[in-house]
Structure 1
Amino acid sequence: MSVKQVICINWGTKYGPLYIDRLYGMVARNITPPFSFTCFCDDPTGIRPEVDCQPLPEIDYEIPKAKTGIWPKSRLWGPKLGTLTGPVLFLDLDVIVTGSLDPFFEHGAPDDVILTRNRVVAFEKLGQTSVFRFPAGGLLPLQTLFKTDPKGIADEYRYEQRFVTRNAPGGVKFFPDGWVAHFRRNCRRPFPLNYLLAPKLPKDTRIVIFAGHLNPQDAIDGRWSDAVPPRSPLAHLRAIGQRDRGGSLWRYLRHYIRPTPWVGDHWRP
């Protein structure tokens, strides 16, 4: 029986051990052994011992300072991925695992590059790299192309997921719709139900991603981002007239969520 290989990447101080330990716990509860969990990181201090911490893959180019896109992920596109070989399932540190991960390893062929379908941009074939599977070392052509002009490519494509979708060797495939849910788009309620009901967990969802500024703790607390204090529905509506609310009135009304207990039920070590 082949080992299911799950990987993540961490650099700097934005996430760290809390997110890594909780991601491991969620994976371990939702996968059929044998499996491995590898974190490529710049500092293994404080990370639970079950996690195989390996150094960030070396690169010979400078990561561009772009306004959009998570371009340090390009480290994973090199000829080697630590000690790993074969297909690996990459997960962003801020995802929530809510169902079995086994199908992510059974879908498609071992050498396929398989992304989550991103339907935020209408009429564009676009993948989401918060959850994607690829063969270790199989994305070298991506890295080779990227390092010819990191800043220019980052500016042209804006997001690394668009670069991967359009340039992955052999093209990309997608996991079935419904396996991965986008919290803001698939879980939160539309106005005015967002003031009455907590966000929902769609049926058959296996992973929930938190793209944007909203993270799992924000969802648990019931706030749009850590820059906004948790408020009751009435308090949020009373604050409409505040000068610092930011954005249009419609945006302000939509950007309210009630506390989401089921996120906390899953997001634990």
Structure 2
Amino acid sequence: MANVPVFVCFKWGKGYPCKYTNILFRALTDLMAGPFRLICLTDDPDGLAEGIETQPIPPFKMDRGDWHKGMWPKLAAFAPGIVPDGTAVVMLDVDVVVLRDLTPLFDIIRKQGGLHIMQEVPDTLPRLFPKRFGKPLLSNSSIVGFVAGEQTHLYTGFADKTYDEVKSLRNDQNYIHHHAHDRNHWPLGWMLSFKKSLAYHFPVGLVRPIPRPDGYVVIFHGVPNPEDMTKGPFTRWGSKEKFGYFPVRWIKDYWQKYSRDTDR
């Protein structure tokens, strides 16, 4: 079983209902070339689609009311015993759009070892004028790859900490960035941020469709969520600077293809 690629995701609280995890599972089932496992670490497995494996979130000390201040439960994915040591694992946010077979992610994990994580995506001004507006880029934890058993310190070093003891790092992804062993960034272009890489600034976004990109996964952070762009025309989505009033066709097609009426 250690050779079967494993995806790990999370479901807790009310932020992302079951349909997000179910849609992710169906997309992976459709797009992956071979067998895989999806393990959802959750405090409430009710409503998850058949075929999704569930395990309780490994325990840690932080008060429940502080979990969302950086998505700290993600560090529980590195706890020992979730999968056999030596298994290639990709921890994946549920609010993503998978574009193609993700086998190459597991190939690079097995070949190189270490931890693989997205480099933080710069905003428009730092990207266009790095000398004036740039800052050191850290990491984004929407998609993290590792070999089970090699990064357990990311859990054990965190599990007995309160929020006050780790808040100086601001969030889980900064914690991973600074504490992971043999940290590597995924190749540029493999993962794209919808908000920072694809969405247009006003007023371009009102008239120019956003094309489906190359790459492997599109991530969403902040606003909008992928579901926001599946609504009918004249439904506003986005941030103050980057927004639209019409569905994004390739996101709507993805959402409709992999959703079911029974999802909630």
1:198 pairs with 206, 209, 232, which one? 209
Q: Is the 8 A contact 1:63 1:150 kept in 2?
A: no
Which residue in 2 is equivalent to 1:6?
A: 7
1:156 pairs with 160, 168, 171, which one? 168
Distance in 1 between the 2:168 and 2:141 partners?
18
> Which secondary structure state, in structure 1, belongs to the residue aligned with residue 177 of structure 2?
helix
Which residue in 2 is equivalent to 1:207?
A: 217
Q: What letter matches 1:161 in structure 2?
A: Q
Which residue in 2 is equivalent to 1:188?
A: 199
User: What TM-score do the two structures reach when normalised by structure 2?
Assistant: 0.82
How far off its partner does 1:88 sit?
0.6
Q: Percent identity?
A: 26
Q: Does 1:230 align with 2:230?
A: no
How far off its partner does 1:84 sit?
7.2
How far off its partner does 1:63 sit?
5.0
Q: Is the 8 A contact 1:116 1:128 kept in 2?
A: yes
> Which secondary structure state, in structure 1, belongs to the residue aligned with residue 66 of structure 2?
coil
Which residue in 1 is equivalent to 2:179?
A: 167
Distance in 2 between the 1:61 and 1:155 partners?
11
Match runs of 1:1-269 below 5 Å: 2-62=3-63, 65=66, 68-81=69-82, 86-108=87-109, 109=111, 111-120=113-122, 122-147=134-159, 149-168=161-180, 170-202=181-213, 204-221=214-231, 230-231=235-236, 252=240, 254-256=242-244, 258-267=246-255, 268-269=258-259
Q: Is the 8 A contact 1:189 1:200 kept in 2?
A: no
How far off its partner does 1:75 sit?
1.8
Distance in 1 between the 2:171 and 2:102 partners?
26
Relative to structure 1, the CA distance from residue 42 to residue 140 in structure 2 (aligned partners, 3 Å threshold; closer, same or farther) is: same
Q: Is the 8 A contact 1:31 1:100 kept in 2?
A: yes
Relative to structure 1, the CA distance from residue 151 to residue 64 in structure 2 (aligned partners, 3 Å threshold; closer, same or farther) is: farther
Deviations 1:52-85 (A, max 9, x none): 1222223355456167411121222222225675
Unaligned runs of 5+ in 1: 224-228, 233-250
Q: Is the 8 A contact 1:197 1:258 kept in 2?
A: no
Q: Is the 8 A contact 2:115 2:145 kept in 1?
A: yes
Q: Is the 8 A contact 1:64 1:71 kept in 2?
A: no
Relative to structure 1, the CA distance from residue 21 to residue 118 in structure 2 (aligned partners, 3 Å threshold; closer, same or farther) is: same
Which residue in 2 is equivalent to 1:247?
A: none
Q: What letter matches 1:230 in structure 2?
A: T
Distance in 1 between the 2:141 and 2:31 partners?
20
Q: Is the 8 A contact 1:216 1:263 kept in 2?
A: yes
Instruction: Decide which moves more: 34-43 or 145-154.
Output: 145-154
> Which secondary structure state, in structure 1, belongs to the residue aligned with residue 106 of structure 2?
helix
Distance in 2 between the 1:177 and 1:87 partners?
21
Number of positions where the alignment pairs a residue of Structure 1 with one of Structure 2: 244
Deviations 1:240-269 (A, max 9, x none): xxxxxxxxxxx7454445320110222324
Q: Is the 8 A contact 1:21 1:47 kept in 2?
A: yes
How far off its partner does 1:147 sit?
3.9
Relative to structure 1, the CA distance from residue 153 to residue 266 in structure 2 (aligned partners, 3 Å threshold; closer, same or farther) is: farther
Q: What letter matches 2:48 in structure 1?
A: I
Relative to structure 1, the CA distance from residue 39 to residue 66 in structure 2 (aligned partners, 3 Å threshold; closer, same or farther) is: closer
Relative to structure 1, the CA distance from residue 130 to residue 252 in structure 2 (aligned partners, 3 Å threshold; closer, same or farther) is: closer
Which residue in 2 is equivalent to 1:241?
A: none
Unaligned runs of 5+ in 2: 124-133, 260-264
Q: What letter matches 1:266 in structure 2?
A: Y
Distance in 1 between the 2:42 and 2:198 partners?
30
Q: What letter matches 1:172 in structure 2?
A: R
Deviations 1:135-171 (A, max 9, x none): 2233322223324543234421112111101111x23
